[in-house]
């Protein structure tokens, strides 16, 4: 069962300086996090040969 | 003529007697880890009475018998014993009377709790076991989701009974080790779909490879490698999404997200664990099958924050078929990587030759691998979707920099599109709903629901059958007009926000969101 968001909030005007150091760091962090997620799909070949023996 | 059945009152002694066979006496049975687990489980589900069916033809055992045991010089029997459990008390006369009723007395048979097949081989006696699960809801508001459960129709002396469960059996250490048992349990549910085929343990092991990873024979089987597990799954009509770490562990948070995401498809998930035995300093690798989880339906509400929040975090326990213990064994998720399992509880630590404890017991289990069996047409993985969702979450942080009443949280899952369409009836109405219902959808879709507090604000649908290196966004639904308009305005004004997504088609993803949020 769902309840839909009907709450209120104040919209804000945003002005982003993509050349600023802060924003560049923000973008780099975001990209790194996503690349880490995608790297989970890469499997070490040695991992495939470990045997479950218990 | 031998009695066709035997009735016993449920207790530890009678359970051990019920499970004995010509090779294994009750003393040996009570020393098994599986016995202690099953006695505890059967007690927990309220078992009162045991009915023993002495001659039972088990298809699972019979196929393994013809593949292996029949070739032994020792004459192993080809029939098993089946032990049934009820959570009510009755005597033999009453049971015989119940058997004769047509239609059956529903009031009597609703107390049926399932069965254990006892194999006629030494020590590894626990064959196909189908036992009812714990109730779906607990009194404290926690909910159990047994996504790996299916219906079993059981025929007992002319009466049909059904039980919701997932079949379990212990490894026989000849035809199967833990991984084979884990795959076998998984296939019991997966084979409810016509693209997956249920195989016996001997067939699973045989199809995994022709020789072991060190060149050794496959039978008697000492275990399967991750690659062999994947091959066996492929031979049964499925493909594997594998996540593995060699020198580190997968996190509990990732495990929760994977289980939550793939659970709606209903195929049990196999995980690799590092477990400790009493007396051993080095851990062993063990495979178990996740068939369910327990979670809190209400997600804790917090203030807006920059880090992404996953709603799967409310999962606090998994239920796994662990062939060394039993069905639906509890795995409690502790901290970042610690898993508390029956292995943890049984571990007494390590002792030196003088009996002095040199390593404490209760060592935690760790997650090393996740194997998600899926239909081959499901090409987009959770990681592909999570990566995009993380990018969108960063964009949302820039659009709503702390000005929403609560934190944004995400519920990401794979589902059948017909289920999603049915769900949309709870969220949309009028022409908007009809438009969704009549629109052709791919059979499998990824659903990313964005919540503010515990209220859904929008839903993005991704085509699970598309290519990972494409714009695989399929549709989106916004349930709050202000949110929709705000997102659209900001995306239109600031196209550079696409820089927050790392994907070859990031600009197209942004265009997709702009299009979906347009009037």
Of residues A4, A10, A31, nearest to B502 (C-beta) = A31
Instruction: Please give the sequence-ordered ranges of beta strands (E in DSSP) within B221-352, or none if there are none.
Output: 224-225, 239-244, 269-275, 284-296, 315-322, 326-334, 338-340, 350-351
Residue B2, pLDDT score = 52
Report DSSP letters for B9-58, one per residue: E-SHHHHHHHH-BTTB-HHHHHTSHHHHHHHHHHHHTT--EEEEEEEE--
A44 touches chain B (CB under 8 A): yes
B155 touches chain A (CB under 8 A): no
Q: A31 vs B392, B399, B408, CA distance in Å?
A: 11, 18, 20
Residues 6 or more apart whose CB falls under 8 angstroms from that of B118 comprise B18, B19, B20, B21, B80, B81, B82, B83, B125, B126, B127
| Min Cα separation B44/chain A (Å) | 27
B49 touches B88 (CB < 8 A): yes
**Cβ neighbours of B178 in A, within 8 Å:** 52-54
Cα angle A14, A16, A21; round to 5: 145
Tell how far CA B431 is from the center of its chain.
Answer: 38
Residue A45, pLDDT score = 86
Single out the residue of B292, B261, B285, B289 nearest to residue B186, CA to CA. B289
> Residue A1 — pLDDT band, cuts 50, 70, 90?
confident
Residue B297, pLDDT score = 86
B15 touches B35 (CB < 8 A): yes
B387 touches chain A (CB under 8 A): yes
pLDDT in tens, chain B (519 residues): 556 899 999 999 999 999 999 999 999 999 999 999 999 999 999 999 999 999 999 999 999 999 999 999 999 999 999 999 999 999 999 999 999 999 999 999 999 999 999 999 999 999 999 999 999 988 787 999 999 999 999 999 999 999 999 999 999 999 999 999 999 999 999 999 999 999 999 999 999 999 999 999 999 999 999 999 999 999 999 999 999 987 889 999 999 999 999 999 999 999 999 999 999 999 999 999 999 999 998 899 999 999 999 999 999 999 999 999 999 999 999 999 999 999 999 999 999 999 999 999 999 999 999 999 999 999 999 999 999 999 999 999 999 999 999 999 999 999 999 999 999 999 999 999 999 999 999 999 999 999 999 999 999 999 999 999 999 999 999 999 999 999 999 999 999 999 999 999 999 999 999 999 998
B159 touches chain A (CB under 8 A): no
Residue B328, pLDDT score = 98
Question: Using the beta-carbon criterion (under 8 Å), do B254 and A54 form an inter-chain contact?
Answer: no
**Cβ neighbours of B454 in A, within 8 Å:** 3
- A interface test, pick of B143, B250, B482, B510 with most A CB neighbours within 10 Å: B482
Q: pTM of the prediction?
A: 0.96
Cα angle B160, B162, B167; round to 5: 120
Q: Report the C-alpha gap between B263 and A25 in whole angstroms.
A: 36
3-state secondary structure of A40: coil
Query: Topology of domain B137-150+170-376, per CATH?
Result: Cathepsin B; Chain A (3.90.70)
For CATH 3.90.70.10, list the domain ranges present in chain B.
Answer: 137-150+170-376
Residue B246, pLDDT score = 78
ipTM here: 0.97
How many inter-chain contacts (A to B, CB under 8 Å) are there? 150
What are the b/e assignments for B109-124, b being 16+ CB within 10 Å?
A: bebbbbbbbbbbbebb
Q: Report the C-alpha gap between B326 and B41 in whole angstroms.
A: 9
Tens-digit pLDDT profile for residues A2-53: 999 999 999 999 999 999 999 999 999 999 999 999 999 999 888 999 999 9
**Cβ neighbours of B225 in A, within 8 Å:** 48-52
B222 touches chain A (CB under 8 A): yes
For residue B114, the cross-strand partners are B85, B131
């Amino acid at each position: 069962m769902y309840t839909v968001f009907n709450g209120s909030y104040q919209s804000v005007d945003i002005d982003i300086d993509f050349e600023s150091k802060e924003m560049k760091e923000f973008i780099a962090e975001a990209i790194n996090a996503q690349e880490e997620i995608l790297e989970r799909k890469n499997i070490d070949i040695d991992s495939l040969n470990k045997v479950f023996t218990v | 003529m031998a009695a066709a059945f035997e009735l016993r009152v449920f207790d530890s002694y009678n359970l051990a007697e019920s499970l004995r066979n010509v090779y294994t006496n009750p003393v040996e049975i009570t020393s098994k880890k599986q016995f202690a687990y099953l006695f505890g489980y059967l007690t927990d589900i309220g078992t009162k009475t045991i009915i023993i069916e002495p001659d039972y033809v088990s298809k699972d055992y019979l196929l393994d018998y013809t593949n292996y045991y029949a070739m032994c010089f020792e004459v192993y029997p080809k029939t098993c014993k089946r032990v049934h459990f009820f959570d009510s008390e009755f005597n033999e006369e009453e049971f015989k009377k119940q058997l004769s009723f047509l239609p059956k007395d529903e009031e009597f048979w609703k107390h049926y709790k399932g069965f254990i097949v006892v194999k006629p081989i030494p020590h590894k006696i626990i064959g196909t076991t189908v036992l009812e699960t714990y109730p779906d809801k607990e009194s404290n508001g926690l909910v159990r989701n047994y996504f790996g459960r299916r219906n079993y129709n059981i025929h007992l002396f002319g009466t049909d009974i059904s039980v919701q469960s997932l079949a379990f059996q212990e490894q026989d250490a000849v035809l199967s080790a833990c991984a084979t048992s884990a795959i076998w349990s998984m296939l019991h549910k997966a084979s409810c779909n016509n693209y997956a085929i249920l195989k016996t343990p001997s067939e699973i092991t045989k199809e995994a490879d022709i020789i072991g990873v060190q060149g050794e024979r496959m039978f008697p089987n000492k275990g399967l490698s991750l690659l062999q597990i994947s091959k066996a799954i492929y031979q049964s009509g499925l493909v594997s999404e594998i996540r593995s770490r060699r020198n580190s562990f997968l996190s509990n948070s990732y495990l929760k997200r994977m289980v939550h995401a793939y659970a709606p498809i209903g195929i049990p998930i196999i995980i690799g664990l590092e477990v400790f035995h009493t007396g051993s300093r080095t851990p062993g690798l063990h495979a178990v099958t996740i068939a369910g989880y327990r979670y809190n339906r209400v997600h804790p509400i917090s203030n807006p924050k920059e880090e992404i929040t996953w709603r799967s975090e409310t999962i606090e326990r998994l239920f796994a078929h662990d062939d060394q213990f039993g069905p639906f064994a509890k795995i409690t998720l502790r901290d970042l990587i610690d898993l508390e399992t029956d292995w943890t509880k049984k571990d007494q630590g390590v002792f030196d030759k003088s009996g002095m404890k040199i390593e404490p017991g209760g060592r935690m289990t760790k997650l090393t691998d996740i194997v998600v069996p899926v239909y081959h047409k499901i090409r987009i993985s959770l990681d592909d979707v999570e990566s995009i969702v993380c990018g969108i979450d960063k964009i949302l942080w820039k659009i709503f920099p702390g000005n929403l009443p609560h934190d944004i949280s995400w519920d990401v899952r794979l589902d059948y599109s017909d289920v999603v369409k049915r769900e949309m009836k709870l969220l949309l109405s009028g022409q908007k709903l009809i438009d969704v219902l009549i629109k052709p959808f791919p059979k499998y879709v990824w659903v990313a629901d964005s919540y503010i507090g515990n209220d859904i604000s929008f839903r993005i649908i991704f085509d699970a059958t598309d290519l990972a290196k494409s714009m695989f966004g399929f549709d989106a639904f916004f349930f709050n007009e202000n949110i929709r308009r705000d997102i659209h305005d900001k995306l239109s004004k600031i196209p550079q926000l696409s820089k927050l997504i790392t994907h070859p088609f990031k600009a197209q993803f942004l265009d997709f969101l702009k299009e979906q949020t347009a009037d």
